[in-house]
Chain A
Amino acid sequence: MRIIVIGAGKVGYTLAEHLTQEEHDVTVIDKNDDVIERCSGSLDVICIKGNGANAKVLLEAGVEKANIVIASTESDESNMLACLIAKRLGAQYTIARIRDPEFNESQTLLQNELGIDVAINPERATALEISRLLRYPFAGSIESFARGLVEMVEFRAQEKDAIVGIPMKDLASKVPHLPRILYAMVERNNSVIIPDGNFAILPGDKVFVSGDMVTITEFFRFLGRYSQKIRSVMLLGGGRISYYLSRLIVPMGIHVTLFELDSQKARRLSELLPRVDVIYGDGTDQDLLQEQGLSQVDAFVSLSNRDEENLMTALYASRSGVQKTIAKNSRMAYMDVLNDLGLDSVISPQVITSSTILRYVRARENSNGTHIERLYRLIDGNAEAIEFVARKGDPYIGIPLKDLNTRKGSLVSVIVHQGKIIIPFGKDHIEEGDHVIIVSRNLGISDLNEVLYR
């Protein structure tokens, strides 16, 4: 598809990078010379210098033939204007990043009047993601498939886990009462393994399991990971993410303590969030944290503007015995290093925003003829989980999986048959209309027939 990305900041750049990897024709528009230079040097895109809200610049970028225009500049107003103009000039679909909460209230009006098809609020999307992690504290990350029927959950295997060291094929016999879930993928030493019968999980591995939430919850309870529900959270930094997050989790009955360094901001937050304990002070100060009861809270989320501060404080909180720590980090290069440090839940707003936008792009592509229902990039883009719908007349339909060949490096992870989840074994088969979730080591699969054949 022809896609125009306006504004190549953190989100725009990440987006453009992923979109080119998925073979789209991408044009990047940015006002800044240095940004343009960086993009044209490292991405396979056309770069145009200029204001994305300028019709002339948009026409130069070929807006009239664009399938999707994504406006992700720093300014909400520019993004809205760019989408409005792009739509009038003939762009099929527009996506805008709009972050100011003020605009949230009039969102539907804005979307209808300005021709913005999707409005993304990065901070809100990030807050939503964090709230999900707080709901399932045992997970490093959660992705959902088949309209939420199937979840894929990531966790880190520990020495004492009952499943460690046992080959997959012996798990059912050697570990009694183990809930039946699928071990979809394992990340070990920064490489991705699709487990087979002889594979054994080792301590320190990052394991991705999939199934429905009930079974997954049972599984973690079995491993002794599922402790009490999270009831109290500490938030470091009083930015927009903290605001949205508080709005989301306070109604869930979670007690929030929020640290903010700026007195004015702290006061304003206290006005906006009456049920939150807003603490005016430096949240990286260990004494202050202990004073406010760090060792007693169930979760600690660091959301300040400085990555290093977030990571160090999260590590400290984890050391002080906080069960669940989540750190915000916007530098992609750190991700590998963080894995080694043992920080499991590291989230980055630009990745969340760009993957939310990517989901819309794929949905558009879907209506344009490919058969991918949903696609997630996992483990920094080294693996992917793809949801397909089995179509009438495909050769694999009705044949037990054990009689089919499966492409190396990929695995049928879950079959959803009439709203029921099947963890596939050799005798199971796929029927027309079933949702099939495949995990693979980045093979660029675009059709189920590439994975399963006779």
Chain B
Amino acid sequence: MNRKLIVRVLGAILAIEGLAMIPSFLISLYFRDGDTAALGYSILITIAVGAAMYLIPKSDKKSYLRLKEGFIIVALGWILMSAFGAIPYMLSGMFTHFDSAFFESVSGFTTTGASVFEGFENYMHGVVFWRATTHWIGGMGVLVLTLALLPKLTGRTAHLVKAESPGPSLSKLVPKTGQTAKILYRIYILLTLLEFIALLFCGLSPYDAAVHAFATAGTGGFSNYGSSVAAFDSVPVDIVITVFMFMFGINFALYYKFLIGERFKAFWRDEEFRTYFFIAISFTLAITLFNLPYYESFFTSLRYSSFQLSSIISTTGFVTADYSRWPVASQFLIILAMFIGSCAGSTAGGIKVIRVKMLMKLSRRNVLAAGRPKKVDVIRIDKKAVDENIVSQVAQFAVMYIALVLIGGFLISLEGKYDIITNLTASLTCVSNVGPGFGSVGPVDNFVGYGVWGKSVLSLLMLFGRLELLPMFILFTRSAWHKY
């Protein structure tokens, strides 16, 4: 294993994280509510450690990044980044225990948005802004950002992007990985800016608009209000955020195709997008109908149901209504949406629509094969045959995903707190990077009730979910740490 190379790349990640803290620092200078020093020190510490790790190891130029090392860099990078991202929370006194600060930081970077912070309005603006920034960085991925800024960091950069980007296979937009990363971030910035402006037009203050735009863009879900988006109680804000949550769940490659001239055909030609759109619309309508007795009119029901479904399926986790009080059929669709998530190549979590689609086709094939075993049947996506290797990887992924949710639920239950529904949905919401669950971790509650053990397990689950299992699982294999 090429330790020097790994340390160097990790150093670059930390240095970039330190730079990303600077806007929060500037905001704290503006609001002056007591977190300026904390952020200033955090920037110094993070950049100093990062620069030292980047500069000190003298790795030779020909160093060869192996696939295994790519996975290890991604997994360690995310853990390290979360640990350093917790420094501002500790130094500012937002949390007194590191386990809580780490949980909050992981929740931010993995764009889960599950909080252990018992927030109140107008808390220290700089630190809260940093919390939103972690969503934004974590959404598109820190290695993608690193490669956009330092495309020459290592050879074989595709290994890194592959390990970090969600979805069964990596699709590059242009031949160079560094260039692809740049394009992705440009689209990301553009969409975030659009939402920021739209929210300003809805009457939000620039600070509120920025925090919510960041949290939507990363499909994270941290709000600077205890009651989340419900705090605004505004129809235009709900509509804007509903639409943008849905949009950030779309594969970014489609936006690229849209921009280079395919226009709306880019979306309709994509089978995953059509399925995603269909699921979102049909679930929304169904929940709206189920909720009719609960709300006074169809449109009120549509407003809250569409927001909540968009929030859950895009794995954002913003809240305008307490869905745990909805009819049980609606609740069940919410749980299904937590499993499915959005499209590959987006900032969202979950199993991903493309995998669900492949699984449905695989199940259909298996059923048909039972009656006609000799028939050769190919699984197609976008009218193209899918490699059988990928099909079986997708099936294994789904099994591991569900197993992880169950095992995670059991592990947090060891603490002896709450009930099955709470612990199971807490595990699910963390693996899928959604945020709120059901029961005692429902939309109007948070995760503060869990102890050190519970928070640690949930932090790990979030990382497993964000990195789509494999990079994290590899860390726990013995062969990952072998030199060869």
- Could you say which residues of chain B place their CB within 8 Å of the CB of A46? 172, 174-175
Task: Specify the chain B residue showing the minimal Cβ separation from A42.
Answer: B156
Shortest CB–CB separation between residue B236 and chain A, in angstroms? Answer: 41
Asked whether any CB of chain A lies closer than 8 Å to the CB of B67, the reply is yes
Docked complex: B147-183 residues within 8 A CB-CB of A: 156-159, 170, 172, 174-179
A26, A33, A40, A44, most chain B CB atoms within 10 A: A44
- Could you say which residues of chain A place their CB within 8 Å of the CB of B121? none
* A25 and B67 contact, CB distance less than 8 A: no
A25 and B183 alpha carbons, distance in the complex (Å): 15
Asked whether any CB of chain B lies closer than 8 Å to the CB of A45, the reply is yes
* B156 and A25 contact, CB distance less than 8 A: no
* B175 and A33 contact, CB distance less than 8 A: no
* B387 and A25 contact, CB distance less than 8 A: no
Asked whether any CB of chain B lies closer than 8 Å to the CB of A274, the reply is no
A25 and B67 alpha carbons, distance in the complex (Å): 23
* A41 and B159 contact, CB distance less than 8 A: yes
- Could you say which residues of chain B place their CB within 8 Å of the CB of A41? 67, 156, 158-159
Shortest CB–CB separation between residue B151 and chain A, in angstroms? Answer: 9
* A45 and B159 contact, CB distance less than 8 A: no
- Could you say which residues of chain A place their CB within 8 Å of the CB of B175? 20, 25-27, 44-46
B158 touches which one: A26, A27, A33, A44 (CB < 8 A)?
A: A44
A40 and B174 alpha carbons, distance in the complex (Å): 13
Task: Specify the chain B residue showing the minimal Cβ separation from A442.
Answer: B61
Determine the main DSSP class of A at the interface with B: mixed
Say yes or no: A25-B158 contact (C-beta < 8 A), given A33-B387, A41-B67: no
Docked complex: B441-471 residues within 8 A CB-CB of A: none
Shortest CB–CB separation between residue B71 and chain A, in angstroms? Answer: 13
Docked complex: B97-118 residues within 8 A CB-CB of A: none
- Could you say which residues of chain A place their CB within 8 Å of the CB of B172? 46
Task: Specify the chain A residue showing the minimal Cβ separation from B67.
Answer: A41
A33 and B386 alpha carbons, distance in the complex (Å): 11
A44 and B162 alpha carbons, distance in the complex (Å): 12
Task: Specify the chain A residue showing the minimal Cβ separation from B172.
Answer: A46
Task: Specify the chain A residue showing the minimal Cβ separation from B176.
Answer: A44
A20 and B155 alpha carbons, distance in the complex (Å): 11
Determine the main DSSP class of B at the interface with A: loop
- Could you say which residues of chain A place their CB within 8 Å of the CB of B170? 40
A46 and B67 alpha carbons, distance in the complex (Å): 18
Docked complex: A315-329 residues within 8 A CB-CB of B: none
- Could you say which residues of chain B place their CB within 8 Å of the CB of A40? 158, 170
Shortest CB–CB separation between residue B14 and chain A, in angstroms? Answer: 25
A40 and B171 alpha carbons, distance in the complex (Å): 10
A33 and B385 alpha carbons, distance in the complex (Å): 12
A36-48 near B? 1/0 per residue, CB < 8 Å: 0000111011100
B174, B175, B176, B178, most chain A CB atoms within 10 A: B175
Docked complex: B57-98 residues within 8 A CB-CB of A: 67
- Could you say which residues of chain A place their CB within 8 Å of the CB of B179? 25
Docked complex: A7-51 residues within 8 A CB-CB of B: 20, 25-27, 33, 40-42, 44-46
Shortest CB–CB separation between residue A198 and chain B, in angstroms? Answer: 26
- Could you say which residues of chain B place their CB within 8 Å of the CB of A20? 175-176
- Could you say which residues of chain A place their CB within 8 Å of the CB of B176? 20, 25, 44
A42 and B177 alpha carbons, distance in the complex (Å): 12
Shortest CB–CB separation between residue B257 and chain A, in angstroms? Answer: 12
* B174 and A44 contact, CB distance less than 8 A: no
A25 touches which one: B157, B159, B174 (CB < 8 A)?
A: B174
Shortest CB–CB separation between residue A396 and chain B, in angstroms? Answer: 29
- Could you say which residues of chain A place their CB within 8 Å of the CB of B159? 41
* A44 and B177 contact, CB distance less than 8 A: yes
- Could you say which residues of chain B place their CB within 8 Å of the CB of A27? 175
Task: Specify the chain B residue showing the minimal Cβ separation from A39.
Answer: B158
A316 and B215 alpha carbons, distance in the complex (Å): 71
Docked complex: B361-390 residues within 8 A CB-CB of A: 387
- Could you say which residues of chain B place their CB within 8 Å of the CB of A26? 175
A420 and B177 alpha carbons, distance in the complex (Å): 46
Shortest CB–CB separation between residue A446 and chain B, in angstroms? Answer: 16
- Could you say which residues of chain B place their CB within 8 Å of the CB of A33? 387
A41 and B177 alpha carbons, distance in the complex (Å): 11
A205 and B265 alpha carbons, distance in the complex (Å): 62
Task: Specify the chain A residue showing the minimal Cβ separation from B70.
Answer: A41
- Could you say which residues of chain A place their CB within 8 Å of the CB of B157? 44
Task: Specify the chain B residue showing the minimal Cβ separation from A2.
Answer: B175
- Could you say which residues of chain A place their CB within 8 Å of the CB of B156? 41-42, 44
A45 and B157 alpha carbons, distance in the complex (Å): 11
Shortest CB–CB separation between residue A68 and chain B, in angstroms? Answer: 13
Shortest CB–CB separation between residue A444 and chain B, in angstroms? Answer: 11
A46 and B179 alpha carbons, distance in the complex (Å): 12
A45 and B175 alpha carbons, distance in the complex (Å): 4
Shortest CB–CB separation between residue B240 and chain A, in angstroms? Answer: 35
A20, A25, A26, A46, most chain B CB atoms within 10 A: A46
- Could you say which residues of chain A place their CB within 8 Å of the CB of B158? 40-41, 44
A297-325 near B? 1/0 per residue, CB < 8 Å: 00000000000000000000000000000
A167 and B343 alpha carbons, distance in the complex (Å): 66
A26 and B177 alpha carbons, distance in the complex (Å): 11
A27, A33, A42, most chain B CB atoms within 10 A: A42
Shortest CB–CB separation between residue A133 and chain B, in angstroms? Answer: 29
A25 and B174 alpha carbons, distance in the complex (Å): 8
A33 and B158 alpha carbons, distance in the complex (Å): 17
- Could you say which residues of chain B place their CB within 8 Å of the CB of A25? 174-176, 179
A149 and B432 alpha carbons, distance in the complex (Å): 68
Shortest CB–CB separation between residue B137 and chain A, in angstroms? Answer: 24
Shortest CB–CB separation between residue B125 and chain A, in angstroms? Answer: 41
A440 and B174 alpha carbons, distance in the complex (Å): 31
Docked complex: A205-223 residues within 8 A CB-CB of B: none
Shortest CB–CB separation between residue A35 and chain B, in angstroms? Answer: 13
B319-333 near A? 1/0 per residue, CB < 8 Å: 000000000000000
Task: Specify the chain A residue showing the minimal Cβ separation from B174.
Answer: A25
Task: Specify the chain A residue showing the minimal Cβ separation from B156.
Answer: A42
Q: Given contact pairs A25-B175, A25-B179, A27-B175, enumerate 9 new A-B contacts (beta carbons under 8 Å).
A: A20-B176, A25-B174, A33-B387, A40-B170, A44-B157, A44-B178, A46-B172, A46-B174, A46-B175
- 27 inter-chain pairs at a CB distance below 8 angstroms, sorted by A residue, are A20-B175, A20-B176, A25-B174, A25-B175, A25-B176, A25-B179, A26-B175, A27-B175, A33-B387, A40-B158, A40-B170, A41-B67, A41-B156, A41-B158, A41-B159, A42-B156, A44-B156, A44-B157, A44-B158, A44-B175, A44-B176, A44-B177, A44-B178, A45-B175, A46-B172, A46-B174, A46-B175
Ranked nearest first, the 9 interchain pairs of A and B with the lowest CB-CB distance are: A25-B175, A46-B175, A45-B175, A46-B172, A26-B175, A44-B176, A44-B177, A42-B156, A27-B175
